[in-house]
Amino acid sequence: MSLNPRIDGWGGRRVWVIGASSGIGRATAQVLLQRGARVAVSARQADVLREIDGALALPLDVADAAALHAAAQRLQRDWQGLDLLLYCAGTYRPMRATAFDLDSALRHDDVNYRGALHALAAVLPLLLAQRAGHIALVSSVAGFGGLPQALAYGPTKAALINLAETLYLDLRPLGIGVHVVNPGFVDTPLTAQNTFAMPALISPQQAAVAILAGLQAGRFDTHFPRRFTLWLKLLRCLPRAVYFPLVRGITGL
């Protein structure tokens, strides 16, 4: 079901991908360029961004609100608007309560959630003035419910899902589309840290194609691969007395 305006192709679309140095963000930026979009890419590694042929490199740290505002102002000056903000920035370190690391947990919050807030503060005035455009936040199936080893990561992704839902209620009546993307396991430098078998593992390129298909179709919630994510959606609907033993049994953790 389409809850957002559909996107009729990517030719000439103005897209800002934040978190484009590797993984899903980089692959999505490259597919967008192949499809004719005008793409700006942001991350901390300026040299890596400049390797993305055809993209406008805007290196920054998502914890730096002033840098995000400056980048948004440049896009407004150079492009006279923005069609899509795609927030892919993220960090992940496996963590359990028996080895709680406060600094790492707070870093997850700074990048995965607070960085998205900084990006919103930078682009919302522009989109509201246009009364058009799209915001897409890349969350994770780890945000659906509590999972072992996701003590720092999972809560930030759950926050993004809630944020997208609330943004949708406020912005859709004003002509602005809001999307949340919930990938399963994608083969990236972050997931390479996992020591357990990752079911239904897909490539960043496959993730990019799925993301763009969901955005074009106007979906609010794009999740993939569905043979895996539909089961997780079902799990979160179960009573906690059933959910917890099932998760322990499935993960062995």
116 occurs within a structural domain: yes
Question: Among residues 157, 168, 233, 243, which one is catalytic?
Answer: 157
6 occurs within a structural domain: no
Q: What is the full per-residue pLDDT of the chain (253 aa) written as tens digits?
A: 789 999 999 999 999 999 999 999 999 999 999 999 999 999 999 999 999 999 999 999 999 999 999 999 999 999 999 999 999 999 999 999 999 999 999 999 999 999 999 999 999 999 999 999 999 999 999 999 999 999 999 999 999 999 999 999 999 999 999 999 999 989 988 888 887 778 899 999 999 999 999 999 999 999 999 999 999 999 999 999 999 999 999 888 8
Question: Among residues 87, 153, 233, 243, which one is catalytic?
Answer: 153
| Cβ 133 vs Cβ 127: under 8 Å | yes
Name which of 15, 44, 45 is nearest 30 in CA terms. Answer: 15
Cα separation, 133 vs 8, in Å, equals 13
The answer to whether the peptide bond before residue 225 is cis (omega within 30 degrees of 0) is: yes
Question: Is 233 assigned a catalytic role?
Answer: no
> Domain holding 39: CATH number?
3.40.50.720
121 occurs within a structural domain: yes
| pLDDT tens-digit map of 166-221 | 999 999 999 999 999 999 989 988 888 887 778 899 999 999 999 999 999 999 99
Q: Which residues contact 223 (CB under 8 A, 6 or more apart)?
A: 141, 181, 182, 183, 184, 229, 230, 233
133 occurs within a structural domain: yes
Domain ranges, residue 26 = 14-251
β 177-183/14-18 pair status: unpaired
Name which of 173, 70, 156 is nearest 116 in CA terms. Answer: 156
3 occurs within a structural domain: no
51 occurs within a structural domain: yes
Please give the pLDDT value at position 115: 98
Q: Tell me the whole-structure pTM to 2 decimals.
A: 0.95
187-190 CB contacts, 8 Å cutoff, 24+ apart: 188/22, 188/23, 188/24, 189/22, 189/23, 190/23, 190/90, 190/91, 190/92
107 occurs within a structural domain: yes
Q: CA of 123: how far to CAs of 104, 135, 140, 172, in Å?
A: 28, 9, 23, 15
Structural domain tally of the chain?
1
| Cβ 82 vs Cβ 14: under 8 Å | yes
76 occurs within a structural domain: yes
